[in-house]
Amino acid sequence: MLALAAVSAFAANASAGISVFATGLNNPRGLKFGPDGNLYVAEGGIGGANSTEGCCEQVVPPVGPYTGSATGSRISKIDPNGIRTTAVDNLPSSQTSAALGSLISGATDVAFIGNTLYILLAGSGCSHGVPQVPEMPNGVLRVNADGTTDLIANLSAFQMAFPVAHPNPADFEPDGSWYSMIAVGGNLYALEPNHGELDKITPEGQISRVSDISASQGHIVPSAMAYRGNFYVGNLNTFPVVPGSSNIYKVTPSGEVSVFAEGLTAVLGVAFDTRGRMYVLEATTVAGDPTPFTGKVIRIDRLNHQTEIASGLFFPTAMTFGPDGALYVSNVGFGPPPVGLGEVLRITVP
């Protein structure tokens, strides 16, 4: 019922420069504008009922065991008028145990190198209840010109072969929970919150580690990033929410990690405008359990002063700047079914 209220909230009251750009999405996550001028949105999807208990290592309770589907998520294409069509369908989707509210993950981000679309999967792999025949681990998919996809990088296998220094045994996902992906210099960079790592993926599918964030910071759940000479990484942190406990970290191309900005809460998005100003998306901002209608967009100036740009968001999960200079934010972005309640908000930036 809360999610139903969220979808109508901004349509009825488009205040503070916030308007609804698109609707009808299933747990929308990472989003990018393509070279064709359309907005591409990765959707966590609708989860699934398949169980792989007894087949492989599972995510420990209460988060696991997961159930999943090989075909429950998609990539949506949204035209400049806000009309949604499906760009890529039948991607894996999974959900946590009912004890944790059946939270859904699936396709989690997109990025372009030239005209080629790449998809980051987070809701796949055996530990997420996704069948292994045909094999579909967490990884990076390339979308071909004819609309078919190829797995170019098996991130599940990479994490298992090259573990980080300080994984958290009580909150460990064997296949990872990849969240953010960007294209820089002709390569892809993917950020993984559960293990705490930033990895590089070439267009040919070669994977290498840029930074083991867990080695210096522990289990901080680094979830979102942007690039401006260095990588700027925001962390969600663990629940329950402690306001002001999240940071923006600067990660150099050689992998060195330092704190850039402090005093933020549950960060799930980082972006820079054309003037080089940093914007941070906070998913939930009050103490305790995640709370709807408390999400915010914050701008951070060169002196690390914070300015609130938008508030009252309902579990926002990612953001990107559009060619018109506005911010586009995935809203009603996580939670259990019912489906189709996710939206993209357009936020005018002063």
Kindly state the average pLDDT of the residues 81-94: 97
Q: For residue 113, give the H/E element and its range.
A: strand 107-113
Distances (CA, A) of 95 to 26, 91, 127, 193: 13, 14, 11, 17
Query: Band of the pLDDT at 15, cuts 50, 70, 90?
Result: very low
Least reliable range by pLDDT among 135-149, 177-191, 255-269, 330-344 = 330-344
Look at residues 190, 228, 195, 189 and name the one whose alpha carbon lies nearest to residue 212: 195
Query: Band of the pLDDT at 3, cuts 50, 70, 90?
Result: very low
Kindly state the average pLDDT of the residues 285-306: 93
Q: Domain 27-290+301-308 is classified in which CATH homologous superfamily?
A: TolB, C-terminal domain (2.120.10.30)
Look at residues 334, 341, 339, 346 and name the one whose alpha carbon lies nearest to residue 7: 341
Per residue in 174-212, pLDDT (tens digit) is 999 999 999 999 999 999 999 999 999 999 999 999 999
Query: Band of the pLDDT at 218, cuts 50, 70, 90?
Result: very high
Cis peptide before 203 (omega within 30 of 0): no
| Phi, psi angle pair for 246, to nearest 5° | -100, 155
**What pLDDT does 133 receive?**
59
Share of the chain above pLDDT 90, in %: 88
Kindly state the average pLDDT of the residues 219-240: 97
Query: What count of residues does the chain have?
Result: 350
**What pLDDT does 11 receive?**
38
Handedness of CA 91, 268, 301, 254 (dihedral sign): negative
Going from N- to C-terminal start, the domains of the chain cover: 27-290+301-308
Query: Band of the pLDDT at 304, cuts 50, 70, 90?
Result: confident
Residue 170, SS3? Answer: helix
Distance CA 272, CA 208 (A): 26
**Burial (0-12, 13-18, 19+ Cβ within 10 Å), 131:** middle
**What pLDDT does 16 receive?**
62
- Report H helices in the chain: 2-12, 155-161, 213-217
